[in-house]
Amino acid sequence: MGKGGFYLETKGPIIKFAIAEKFINLARANSIWPMTFGLACCAIEMMAAAMARFDIARFGAEVFRPSPRQADLMIINGTVTKKMAPTIVTLFEQMPSPKWVIAMGNCAISGGPFVFEGQYNIIEGIDKLIPVDVYVPGCPPRPEGLLEALMKLEEKITGTRRFPIPEQKW
Amino acid sequence: MMNEIIQIVGKETVRVVIGLIGVLILVVVNALMLTWLERKISGHIQRRIGPKEVGPFGLIQPIADGLKLLGKEILTPSNVDKPLYFLAPVLIFIPVLVSFIVIPFDVCLQVKDINVGILVILAFSSLSVLSILLAGWGSNNKYSLIGALRSVAQNIAYEIPLLLSILPVIFMTNSLSLKDIVEVQREGWFIWKWQFFAFLIYFIAGVAETNRTPFDLPEAESELVAGFHTEYSGMRFALFFLAEYTNIMIISAVATVFFLGGYLGPFLPGFVWFFIKTYLLVAVIMWFRWTFPRVRFDQLLNFSWKILIPAAFINLIVTGGLLKL
Amino acid sequence: MVKTVFDDIKNTLKGVEISETSYDERGYHLAIESQKANIINIVEFFDGKGFYLEDLCCVDYKDYLELVYFFNNHKELCRVKVALKVESDKPAAPTISRIYTIANWYEREIHEFFGVYFENHTNLTYLFLHDEIDCYPLRKDRVPVTEDDRRLLNSFKPEEYEDGFFINLGPQHPSTHGVLRVVVKMDGEYIVSAEPVLGYLHRMHEKMAENRSYLQFLPNPPRMDYLGALNYNLGHVTTVEKLCSITVPERAQYIRTITAELNRISSHLLWVGAFVADLGGLTPFLYTFQDREHILDILEGIAGSRLTYCYFRFGGLYNDVDDAFIDATKQFIKHLRGRFGMYEKLVTKNVIFINRVKGIGILEQDKVPKYGCSGPVIRSTGIPFDIRKTEPYAAYDRIGFEIPTGTIGDNLDRYMIRIREMEISLNIIEEAIEKLPSGPFKAEKVPKKLKPPKGDIYHTVESPRGELGVYIVSDETDTPYRMRWRVPSYSNLMTFPYLAKGELISDAIATLGSYDLVIPEIDR
Amino acid sequence: MTVIVEIIKGAISLISGMCVTTKAFFAPVVTVQYPRQTVNISPRFRGHTKLVADEERPDRTKCIVCGMCERNCPSGSIKKVEGEKLEGEKKKTATVYILNYTTCSQCGLCVETCPADALAFSADYNVTSYKKEDFYYDLIKEFDKRKKA
């Protein structure tokens, strides 16, 4: 970890078996364990997604691991300050690959409403520090947004979307 | 071919080897099932569904979890004490395998009937403390260390009432063999024959032995992040996970054998009864977890030393007095 | 009270410039101009009278800096503003942290943001800001960090020079509900000392206020305290309304009361769940969230969002409520009343729970003024202090309600008070709905560009966590010259090092949970 | 003796707690299974803003390109509002309206201050993407998309 915010690139396995890989990817996509990690407002909505009404457990993602070593997914849910940034990079590095990142909420995406000229304390977008897989905008996004992001992540891992797309409410 | 092998190594060895393979499969399948069961039970207690989208009723969920953990990067933190760090997950898994050898699932469904069966289980289950200690020390993490130390103190404190609560049953059967103990209960289960309190004490101590809520201090999530396995990831973490669930199974199985008449029961085959009883106890342990908060460390030890152990002793003396006088 | 304090100061502290001010306009009763030489005497005077330090902040007037001390009394409302001018280059002032413990943190904060040096302060290290900061952020002109202070940056590293078993609770730790970091020195399982480190979520709200108009600052307060968003929204709006003397129609006042109370319940519900989760029981957490979802639905129906509502406007509301809202609220009141029995069985009467919280984290009543804590934390010690009663805003003076108090100030008291407060909030909502008048929901003549008269104002509201104070200095433009937020969690958390000392780590985590901390509120 | 009474009392409290969870176990679940079912979202829900169609000319928006929203936005999310005066018309017609949703805080100031009532909140409650550039909406294009749908 450097102060500039570089993360260590971990190499994938040397030998790959296509079918096994596909199978394991399917398993991975359906067993995403997020890290217990709350930053700000969006953390409450992340909790709400894990609660009875939205129940992230249906997709096997309710196993919130407090230790980064056992987590697959890091949900950046809130403003990342310059004081917090090194910690986040460390946590990300401590996760064993394959690992994914969801930037939840506007603060994580771009600094959100806290960007102004002369700001001295926030990182304008977590993608400047670590690679982000799925972005969920909103301030904060509804829990459905997070569930949708989980499905997007599954689509990214396996290549297909398993779930129906809910009706758009224009 | 088969006959030749049997002739060379002896019938008993083949039986044990087949049994061991069976036990291995049982342990893995059981642990996977239990994770599913736990998530389903917790889900419904909390009025949600739990795993659902992965396979019918989410039944494939544990397999997906297992595969995923297999496919994780093998990660070793830089400052760990490597031999101990590698040894701990293996060491926690072996004793739970051995324990299953002596458990009678049915009249003739037992890998080996050893005449000191219960001692084998108790001796090997104590070994898990050692591996937790190794994991805590080897991880070079403060949370792990505290978790490990808590675990040691807790396990020592609760091993005593555990032992004391099954002693009266041994008094009454005059045997340490699990099969004999079950056979004696043809005349009535021990839970109804004088030993209800012994069963309660055993069960509470058993919950504590398996580090489950309300006694889950070694891995207290809100205090110690993940306790002794904070630094473990991927398959090594899975082994801890597996061992935890298998331990629950063992504790419940021993309770079934000692107090609930093991495989005895009408109509259904013996092993079905055995599993029904065992899984009921497992479900109760899970029920505990999703109802109660966690006790504090000093309360935990106080409860064992000041209440459980004296109560177990009184029970032992009363049983001994009634039987031998 | 005001008169006697005025006379006492005149008699005992000779040569102090004291004047009476209009409470209705300024929000404080007395104003004192102090000098460096006599500030300690003045503070000691208030300490002797049992006043608490409500707030300590700094305003940069370019030619000089002004330190503003607010004192208030828990027994009877008497707010005193003490101003101390310090020169703008190499500013220095005597520390009052020996007299008021909470001043320790306030002074550290002012030191970071304004560069004021407090003489004889025991630990003037950086509390909020990150290592690479190169100026004092809240100064009007860009003032680079002095060489002395540069050395202090990130100097708080207890692990390096002390021999002991240190544990970092946070910034990522399941128990801190956010990004608080507490450095704990341990002896076995017992805590020798605990030192919170703040600033992991410092989002520059006070700086932003100086860059935006009053109107444009509206989305910020809800994000300071995302659980009591409407209360913060209300704090901001009422202060500006008072400053610009805007009258708000009755209907809007009542709706403000109803929604703010609903928000309070949702905040308390979440706390109950999170507190029990800290103690290891996860299921109540899900049950409280389930009840909370009802409130979120109701509030989403009028305010449009689930968490960070931006609903109140200067002079009224964003939009009116409809019958569906009233019906849903009534239904919710009925629903929640039926749930209390369940919580009692599951949590309140549970023997494990009681043994975990009873007699733990005791805050004595006489310590309270030193820390200036508020909300359920102060009420647990037996002091019936509630801004809704002492300085009623919205429609609280037209609604009868009681203030629950505890007896010994332990974690159980804090838990019981919050449960009781939820019940009382339900009563308030019920009464407010009954009395809800018809009429406009918005004042007619609110100028698009607010230009309040010159001067300052201090106004408080009761957020779910305690006393929220807003101090605005206006310079007749549409942006505040300085907007200072006095947040309850900050002073509540200050008691943690005192309460945690000698406790077991599991108890300390329960105590930390009992404050109901919201980190962005502390860090601002 | 008191110890025994306390133990019994404690045990009763634990059992009553377990009764609560048992009741909940058999109670119906409250989960709304998101991709298959959706929660009823209030019409006042605040998603990103959208432009409202003019009643007289439904193919165009009400926007008169006055720039009020742009000036009033607290976080400068409204990047560019441009329009042109079509021949024979008094008001301007918007051609470009770029909203940077990633800095929006859904406060509603733009909707409130719009003199033409041309802005409203959309009900896009579940937007996600692999790229953050996807949230730089051109509301005119969004308007056209919605019109087709």
Residues of D in contact with A144 (CB under 8 A): 34, 38-39, 125-126
Taking the C-alpha atoms of residue D83 and residue D95, their distance in angstroms, rounded to an integer, is 5
Run of H or E including A88: helix A85-94
Supply the pTM of this predicted model. Answer: 0.90
Average pLDDT, chain C: 86
Can you tell me the mean pLDDT for C479-494? Answer: 88
Strand D136-138 to strand A100-104: parallel, antiparallel, or no bridges (unpaired)? unpaired
Q: Which of D14, D21, D30 sits opposite B290 (nearest CB)?
A: D21
A interface mutation test: which of B53, B63, B242 has the most A CBs within 10 A?
A: B53
Whether C76 has a pLDDT exceeding 70, the answer reads yes
Domain ranges of chain A: 35-158
* pLDDT at residue A3, as a whole number: 40
Report which DSSP code applies to A158. Answer: H
- Whole-angstrom CA distances from C518 to C91, C270, C363, C492 are 32, 12, 20, 11
B58 CB within 8 Å of a chain A CB: yes
Residue type at position C167: I
Question: What residues in B contact C287, CB-CB < 8 Å?
Answer: 46-47
* Percentage of chain B exceeding pLDDT 70: 98
Q: What is the ipTM of this complex?
A: 0.88
Give pLDDT, residue C180.
Answer: 84
- Could D113 and C448 be called an inter-chain contact, meaning their C-beta atoms sit closer than 8 Å? yes
**The CATH number of A35-158 is which of 3.40.50.970, 3.40.50.12280, 3.40.50.1100, 3.40.50.1000?**
3.40.50.12280
Give which of A22, A54, A70 to mutate to test B binding, by max B Cβ within 10 Å: A70
Top residue of D73, D107, D117, D125 to mutate, by most chain C CBs within 10 Å, is D107
**Touching check for D25 and chain B: CB below 8 Å?**
yes
Q: Return the pLDDT at A9.
A: 53
- Give me the pLDDT at residue A10, please: 54
Among the partner residues D32, D75, D123, nearest to A113 by beta-carbon distance: D75
Contact C280 B222 (CB under 8 A): yes
Give the integer Cα–Cα distance in Å for C202 and C439: 41
**Which residues in chain C touch residue A39, judged by CB atoms under 8 angstroms apart?**
178-179, 201
pLDDT tops 70 at residue A15: no
Mean pLDDT of B180-199: 79
- Asked if B44 lies within 8 A of D25 by C-beta distance, the reply is yes
Q: Using an 8 Å Cβ cutoff, are B254 and B118 in contact?
A: yes
The string of DSSP letters for B114-128 reads: -TTHHHHHHHHHHHH
Contacts of D74 in chain C (CB under 8 A): 212, 216-220
| Residue in chain A nearest B40 by alpha carbon | A57
CATH architecture of C2-156: 2-Layer Sandwich (3.30)
What tokens does B11 get? 């019938």
> What's the rounded mean pLDDT across residues A122-141?
88
Kindly state whether D139 is in contact with chain A, defined as any CB-CB distance less than 8 angstroms: no
Count Cα atoms within 13 angstroms, Cβ side, for C269.
26
Among residues C126, C225, C301, which one has the least CA distance to residue C465? C225
C453-to-A59, C208, C450, C459, C479 alpha-carbon distances in Å = 57, 21, 10, 16, 12
Give the per-residue SS3 of B36-69. Answer: HHHHHHHHHHCCCCCCCCCCHHHCCHHHHHHHHH
pLDDT value for C204: 86
Q: pLDDT per residue over A42-53, tens digit each?
A: 888 888 888 888
Q: What is the pLDDT of residues C162-205, one digit of tens each?
A: 667 888 887 877 766 778 888 888 887 888 888 888 888 888 88
pLDDT band at A4 (very low <50, low <70, confident <90, very high): very low
The residue with tokens 């943001």 is: C113
Question: What value does the mean pLDDT take over residues B257-285?
Answer: 84
Query: pLDDT grade, residue A11 (50/70/90)?
Result: low
List the domain boundaries for chain C.
Answer: 2-156, 209-488
Domain ranges of chain D: 49-148
In angstroms, the CA B134 to CA B145 distance is 9
For C254-304, how does the pLDDT look when each residue is reduced to its tens digit (9 = 90+)? 988 999 999 999 999 999 988 888 888 888 888 998 889 898 888 888 888
Size of interface A-B (CB pairs under 8 A): 102
Sheet holding A134-136, edge to edge: A73-76, A100-104, A134-136
**pLDDT exceeds 80 at position B265:** no
Q: pLDDT-derived band of residue A13, with 50, 70 and 90 as boundaries?
A: low
Residue A8: pLDDT above 60? no
Question: Across the B/D interface, how many CB contacts are shorter than 8 Å?
Answer: 36
As a whole number, mean pLDDT of residues A110-136 equals: 86
Quote the pLDDT of residue A1.
Answer: 39
Backbone angles phi, psi at D68, to 5 degrees: -60, -45
Which of these, A128, A86, A133, lies nearest to A107 by C-alpha position?
A128
CATH of C209-488, one of 1.10.3720.10, 1.10.645.10, 1.20.1200.10, 1.50.10.10: 1.10.645.10
Residue B226 has pLDDT above 80, yes or no: no
Contact yes or no for C391/C77 (Cβ under 8 A): yes
Q: What is the pLDDT of residue A14?
A: 62
Q: Is A118 on the interface with D (CB under 8 A)?
A: no
> Nearest Cβ partner of A36 from C171, C174, C220?
C174
Rounded to the nearest integer, the mean pLDDT of chain B is 83
Per-residue pLDDT tens listing for chain D (149 residues): 788 888 888 888 888 888 888 888 888 888 888 888 888 888 888 888 888 888 877 777 888 888 888 888 888 888 877 888 777 777 777 888 888 888 888 888 888 888 888 888 888 888 888 888 888 888 888 888 877 77
> Directed axis angle between helix B234-259 and helix B196-209, to 10°?
170
What number does CATH give the domain D49-148? 3.30.70.3270
Beta-bridged to residue C434, according to DSSP, are none
In which band, very low, low, confident or very high, does the pLDDT at A5 lie, cut at 50, 70 and 90? very low
- Among chain B residues, the shortest Cα distance to D4 is held by B307
Cβ partners under 8 Å of residue C287, min gap 6: B46, B47, C273, C339, C342, C343, C346, D24
pLDDT at residue C68 is higher than 60 = yes
State mean pLDDT over B289-316: 87
